[in-house]
Structure 1
Amino acid sequence: MSSTNEEVDLELPPFIRLYKNGRVERFTVPTILPPSPSDPTTGVASKDVFIDPATPVSARLYLPPNSSPPPPTKIPLLVYFHGGAFCIESAFSSTYHPYLNNLAARANVVIVSVEYRLAPEHPLPAAYEDCWTALRWAAAGSDPWIAEHADLNRLFLAGDSAGANIAQRMAVLAGAEGGLSLEGIALIHPYFSTGADVEGSFGDRLWRMLCPGAEGGTADPRLYPAADEEAVKGMAGRRLLVFLAEKDHLMEKGKAYYDVVKGSGWGGAVELVETAGEGHVFHLLKPESDAAGELMELLAAFLNAA
């Protein structure tokens, strides 16, 4: 029989189990892939860098093959935030490394994929703080790949699920803080409030685990940014692209967010793309599908539009 210390305190499948003694068990443990000086399929080079060793915040950088030697015209810079409900996954995983290799090659962009700290060991706002540190680091051209190849006037943010939540939050912070110009933000199946306004629901328990002491549901603009129209109106960026999927349980809140941005008076251009018949992050789960290929094409076009 298990001791009291080994009793389960909170279980949130398919993500995580917490024990009363503080031990954390993740149901999904990502396979970590190494960077490569030249991906055999795409020719994209990748490397890992420490941004803030004291935290630590790190990132994987991707450089497409036609950027070496540097072309006369520099290429866009994309800062990408991975998903995983703020508590699982990694920028270095077998989910994200192949996807961003392909995106860097297809869109011809330099990518900074951020490895941020995860909850519950590091509750929110740790992930937001890490990503803000990484964004400012990237925007300053702090790595030679960025300084030599990236056009810092064409800086984009993107992410999926919790990573899309982070990207939206970074755009709000950039607008509030000033001094950081964004060309565009792409949100793929964003993790915004879904049932978290119902006390005791799965969404409520997940959010309170991620962010102890926070208000649930639509009361917290980090979880439900549509609740703070003034912050949305003040977002940095010239263009916003929101991807939604018909069978995604998050679609309703993503559509509400799009509607709020469009009606807020935000000065940028807003576009919505809805994929029929697909579920949450289908482009990562079924990367060879036609729908995933179409999403990749639309994202690449967004990153290269004048």
Structure 2
Amino acid sequence: MDPDTEIAFDFQPYLRQYKSGRVVRYGGEPVVPTGTDPVTGVVSRDVHAGDGARARVYLPPGAAADANAKLPVVVYFHGGAFVTGSPARPLTHAYLNDLVSRSGAIGVSVYYRLAPESPLPAAYDDAWAAVRWAATRGAGGDTWLLNHANMSRGVFLAGCSAGANIAHEMAVRCAGAGVALRGLVLVHPYFAGEEAIGGETEDLVERRRRTWRFTCPDTPGLDDRRLNPFVDGEARAAAAAIPCERVLVCVAEKDYKLKDRGLWYYRELKGSGYGGEVELFESMSVGHAFHFGMLDSRQAVQLQERTVAFIKK
């Protein structure tokens, strides 16, 4: 058979990889340009974010004209199972415009390399480069951060699904590097483990084993500490040491594959010895990452308002 047409791995609903190594992503990767958003007035631009990483930076309306405006910074990681998505994807871009407009924060939405072309830990490494860059106010190279970032208490980290997993891992790394954080927002977070919990089935666990190894070939399995942050005492201690004042965990009632893991993370972090506040918010009657496709819905507005309140607290 032709290796360019013979399927090696079918990762529904995201992509298909052929034995030749060719990867086809379902639906392609549509992009939207930076600029001024006509709905919110938020301004965005793409920048280099250190060590080869890139980010899309968002400034609230009017902030550029106010030399005295000092704003919180939210570093955001998009979802997509580590294999798809980008800050330039239409739904992600619209979400960041809305978040920045409502919160009055500077948004830093991170481009990270995707598996399988760039297996994990590439995404984590790109994310870490961007976090360090943002924490140093753009390393002197981005005037928006240099002029307007309020770093007196550190930055916020936020993400959805796989992006929430990345956000947690970045918080763990911040502890060892002395990077100050104000808060951590995990929306419908992607975590797993070799032992099923709640409503997880063995079939679901097995599918996660296959897809996790596809994205992260050099891994011990689902009990990899990046995926199971409470697998042992050392991992639990690292989670307890994340250097932020508070954590917000958001779940969705009909997120049947990941809601139990979000609740598990909330309970485990509260019991780990973490010294900050751990908050839980549940969106009712909706599923995983619902808010991207329905930003104006009642549930999405409630989720965004809860996130904004967390940032402004």
Q: Structure 1 length normalisation: TM-score?
A: 0.93
Counterpart position of 1:288: 296
Partner in structure 1 of residue 261 of structure 2:
253
Equivalent in 85, 92, 98 of residue 89 of structure 1: 85
Q: Which runs of 5+ in 2 are unaligned?
A: 197-201
Q: What CA distance in whole angstroms lies between the structure 2 residues aligned with 1:196 and 1:14?
A: 25
Counterpart for residue 203 of structure 1? 208
* Distance in 2, Cα, partners of 1:244 & 1:28: 26
1:166 and 2:173 equivalent? no
Mean Cα deviation higher: 56-65 or 191-200: 191-200
Do the aligned partners of residues 8 and 266 (structure 1) sit closer, same or farther apart at CA in structure 2, a change above 3 Å counting? same
Q: Which residue of 1 aligns with 2:99?
A: 103
* CA distance, structure 1, for counterparts of residue 243 and residue 85 of structure 2: 27
Using the aligned pairs only, state the percent identity. Answer: 44
CA contact (8 A) 1:194 1:250 kept: no
Tell me the secondary structure at the aligned position of residue 150 of structure 2: strand
Cα shift at 1:195: 7.1
Q: Give the deviation of 1:83 after TM superposition.
A: 0.5
* Match status 1:140 vs 2:136: yes
3-state DSSP of counterpart to 2:260: helix
Unaligned runs of 5+ in 1: none
Q: Following TM superposition, by how much is the alpha carbon of 1:28 offset from its aligned partner in structure 2, in angstroms?
A: 3.5
Give CA deviations for 1:68-125 in whole Å, capped at 9, x if unaligned.
3236451110000000000001111101111101111110000010000000000000
Q: How many residue pairs were aligned?
A: 299
1:50 match? 48
Secondary structure of 1:226 counterpart: coil
Task: After TM superposition, give the deviation of residue 67 of structure 1 in Å.
Answer: 1.4
Q: CA deviation at 1:196?
A: 8.5
Distance in structure 1 (CA, Å) of the matches to 2:108 and 2:307 = 16
**Structure 1 residue ranges (4+ consecutive) displaced by more than 6 angstroms after TM superposition:** 194-197
Q: CA RMSD in A?
A: 1.7
Distance 1:64 1:73, change over 3 A: closer
Structure 1 residue 215 and structure 2 residue 220: aligned?
A: yes
TM-score of the aligned structures, taking structure 2 as reference length:
0.91
